[in-house]
Amino acid sequence: MFTSLSDRLSETFKNLRGKGRLSEADIDATVREIRRALLDADVAVAVVREFTSRVKERALGSEVSQALNPGQQVVKIVNDELVRILGGNTRRLNLAKNPPTVIMLAGLQGAGKTTLAGKMAKWLKGQGHSPVLVACDLQRPNAVKQLQVNGERAQVPVFAPHPGVSSEFEASTGDPVAVAAEGIEYAKQKLHDIVIVDTAGRLGVDAELMQQAADIRAAIQPDEVLFVIDAMIGQDAVNTALAFNEGVDFTGVVLSKLDGDTRGGAALSVAHVTGKPIMFASTGEGIGDFEQFHPDRMANRILDMGDVLSLIEQVEATWDKGEAARMQKKFEDQEDFNLEDFLAQMQQIRKMGSMKKMLMMMPGAAQMRQQLEQFDEKEIDRVEAIVRSMTKHERVAPKIINGSRRARIAKGAGVSVSAVNALLERFAQAQKMMRKMAQGQGGAIPGMGGHGPGKRKQQPAKSKKAAKQKPKTLAERRALERGEIPGAPKQQSGSSFGAQAGEFDPSQLSLPKGFEKYLDKN
């Protein structure tokens, strides 16, 4: 998303780096490039004019002329203005004091209302709510069936007393206003705290569409009316949003298809022109690709500053806390990281969704966009197939995997032997790194044990008396072996390790906890 706009702005700001003072000509050139970038992104002309005039006014003011780094100060000004036109603060749902909270979705046909209704229901369920979907789109063919499928995917009930139409040649006979009112009563009976009403759309704005939407709103008195808009339609989004705002008076905007080849014009125009905040965004085709819209974080993404907070929230929402606690205990006990643990971590990563999306949230990700685009998401599947083709003993003790075992594993996973070799080499490096971190040699992980960054357990210092007893001549060494020097330790016979045969004690060795089960006790 916003790829073209982000690249153009990043290229513009490169010309400001290293300049101790910015002249008026520098600022004019920068504002001119920003204007071109916004217009190419299909942002509304009125928004572009206001945006660039405010940036220029602030850039020529004292906040830049007195700054230690004028170039960075200009970037900050652009970031502030982007946040402002995107809505300023994060706008959250207004929940009803007496449940259920009623949310009505409105928009043109093809904007993605029905799909988005399922995504929103799943997101709200993850927030601890009990939503229900109400099918009021009775005129689009199979719209009711599509909502029921999305409800199954989100594991949310769907209220659909009327089947709708199955063909464009079939006339609609149901009353969407009555269905909406019945859906509210159904939610009260079944104790659902949120109702999401999916309404019909048209290919264009017309009087019949607006009248139906207005009638549904009057009948159910929704707490939120969300206008769903395709983020790919550019400046035309402004005209559509203004028409719906006048006819339905929506309370918030939801951007759909934000993962597509979008130039960002809709997102940067709608909130500012209508005065209604962008509240949510659909970021993919999956049922879980739905997120709260944060203007400040979106501005950071546009300027390639990353969105680490959203990344952390995504990890926290999907990461298994029980698995994390198990791994922490393993670190504390200094047990070796094996392929069973590696497989468990891979499964955790798969739950978080697309690796490309997560990596693109990191600061400076735009600079390696080409490498990220070439990243194969199926590589994780291939790695998991290789590990699952191993026996349990091979996963715990990968050193026993010889040539014949590698050939068998490669055949079972459907990959080449070289792919198995490469995985085992990478795992050996990861295992060594984990071992060092657990022992505190490579920088301890908070809460994972270890002795701090670069610290090791201090060895007991040798006493001066012991240092004086160090034999220097052949006679002194022989006397030391006979035990004639007072305080010198007598060497035991019968073993090269100083112990009698049959008296070997594994506890005297500095082995990781849990390793003794692999020793032969016979």
CATH (domain of 71): 1.20.120.140
Q: Which two tokens stand for residue 290?
A: 């739905």
Residues pairing with 101 in the sheet? 194
For residues 296 and 395, state if they share a domain. no
In a domain, 166, yes or no: yes
Q: Is 61 annotated as a binding residue?
A: no
Question: What range defines the domain where residue 423 resides?
Answer: 319-439
Q: What is the pLDDT of residue 17?
A: 72
Q: Is 113 annotated as a binding residue?
A: yes
In a domain, 521, yes or no: no
315 pLDDT band (50/70/90 cuts)? Answer: low
Q: Is 111 annotated as a binding residue?
A: yes
Higher-confidence position of 434 and 364: 434
Range with the lowest mean pLDDT among 18-27, 33-42, 419-428? Answer: 18-27
Domain boundary among 40, 60, 85: 85
For residues 191 and 234, state if they share a domain. yes
Per residue, the 3-state secondary structure of 96-122, as one string, reads CCCCCEEEEEECCCCCCHHHHHHHHHH
Q: Is 112 annotated as a binding residue?
A: yes
In a domain, 478, yes or no: no
In a domain, 326, yes or no: yes
For residues 289 and 374, state if they share a domain. no
Which of 369-373, 458-462, 491-495 is most confident? 369-373
12 pLDDT band (50/70/90 cuts)? Answer: confident
Domain boundary among 305, 332, 349: 305
Residue 235 in this model has a pLDDT that exceeds 90: no
In this predicted model, what pLDDT tens digit does every residue of 182-207 receive, in sequence order? Answer: 999 999 999 999 999 999 887 777 78
Q: Is 256 annotated as a binding residue?
A: yes
Give Cβ neighbours of residue 133 (< 8 Å, ≥ 6 apart). 117, 118, 121, 147, 150, 151, 156, 157, 158, 159, 196, 198
For residues 71 and 124, state if they share a domain. no
In whole angstroms, give the CA distance from residue 90 to residue 252.
Answer: 11
Q: Is 200 annotated as a binding residue?
A: yes
For residues 241 and 361, state if they share a domain. no
Q: What is the value of pTM for the model shown?
A: 0.64
Higher-confidence position of 122 and 70: 122
Residues 92/251, Cβ–Cβ less than 8 Å: no
Domain boundary among 389, 411, 439: 439
For 202, 238, 244, 257, 378, the CA distances from 308, given in Å and listed in that order, are 38, 30, 34, 22, 24
Range with the lowest mean pLDDT among 23-27, 180-184, 317-321, 383-387? Answer: 317-321
Q: What is the mean pLDDT of the chain?
A: 77
224 pLDDT band (50/70/90 cuts)? Answer: very high
Residue 333 in this model has a pLDDT that exceeds 60: yes
Picking from 262, 214, 220, 261, the residue whose alpha carbon sits closest to that of residue 237 is 262
Q: What is the pLDDT of residue 337?
A: 77
Q: What is the pLDDT of residue 450?
A: 42
Q: Is 369 annotated as a binding residue?
A: no
CATH number of the domain at 224, please.
Answer: 3.40.50.300
For residues 106 and 244, state if they share a domain. yes
In a domain, 508, yes or no: no
Residue 505 in this model has a pLDDT that exceeds 50: yes
For residues 195 and 300, state if they share a domain. yes
Q: Is 259 annotated as a binding residue?
A: yes
For residues 80 and 153, state if they share a domain. no
Q: Which two tokens stand for residue 446?
A: 């908070």
User: How many domains does the chain contain in total?
Assistant: 3
For residues 136 and 263, state if they share a domain. yes
CATH number of the domain at 367, please.
Answer: 1.10.260.30
In this predicted model, what pLDDT tens digit does every residue of 425-481 receive, in sequence order? Answer: 888 887 787 777 666 644 444 444 444 444 444 444 444 444 455 555 666 666 665
Q: What is the pLDDT of residue 492?
A: 46
Residue 493 in this model has a pLDDT that exceeds 60: no
- Percent share of the chain, pLDDT over 90: 19
Picking from 59, 65, 62, 66, the residue whose alpha carbon sits closest to that of residue 29 is 59
In this predicted model, what pLDDT tens digit does every residue of 259-293 receive, in sequence order? Answer: 765 566 776 788 888 888 999 988 878 888 888 88
For residues 282 and 347, state if they share a domain. no
Q: Is 109 annotated as a binding residue?
A: yes
Q: What is the pLDDT of residue 211?
A: 86
Q: What is the pLDDT of residue 499?
A: 44
Residues 198/117, Cβ–Cβ less than 8 Å: yes
Residue 340 in this model has a pLDDT that exceeds 70: yes
For residues 325 and 238, state if they share a domain. no
Residue 357 in this model has a pLDDT that exceeds 90: no
Q: Is 199 annotated as a binding residue?
A: yes
Residue 520 in this model has a pLDDT that exceeds 60: no
In whole angstroms, give the CA distance from residue 420 to residue 423.
Answer: 5
- Percent share of the chain, pLDDT over 70: 70
Give Cβ neighbours of residue 521 (< 8 Å, ≥ 6 apart). none
In a domain, 135, yes or no: yes
Instruction: Report the pLDDT averaged over residues 307-334.
Output: 68
Residues 22/71, Cβ–Cβ less than 8 Å: yes
Q: What is the pLDDT of residue 187?
A: 94
For residues 199 and 281, state if they share a domain. yes
In a domain, 517, yes or no: no
Q: Is 487 annotated as a binding residue?
A: no
Q: Is 110 annotated as a binding residue?
A: yes
Higher-confidence position of 421 and 363: 421
Q: Is 201 annotated as a binding residue?
A: yes
132 pLDDT band (50/70/90 cuts)? Answer: very high
Pairing of strands 278-282, 290-292: antiparallel
Q: Is 264 annotated as a binding residue?
A: no
Q: What is the pLDDT of residue 252?
A: 92
Q: What is the pLDDT of residue 186?
A: 93
Q: Is 257 annotated as a binding residue?
A: yes
Higher-confidence position of 103 and 479: 103
Give Cβ neighbours of residue 420 (< 8 Å, ≥ 6 apart). 386, 406, 409, 410, 413
For 59, 299, 300, the CA distances from 296, given in Å and listed in that order, are 20, 5, 6
In a domain, 346, yes or no: yes
Q: What is the pLDDT of residue 447?
A: 40
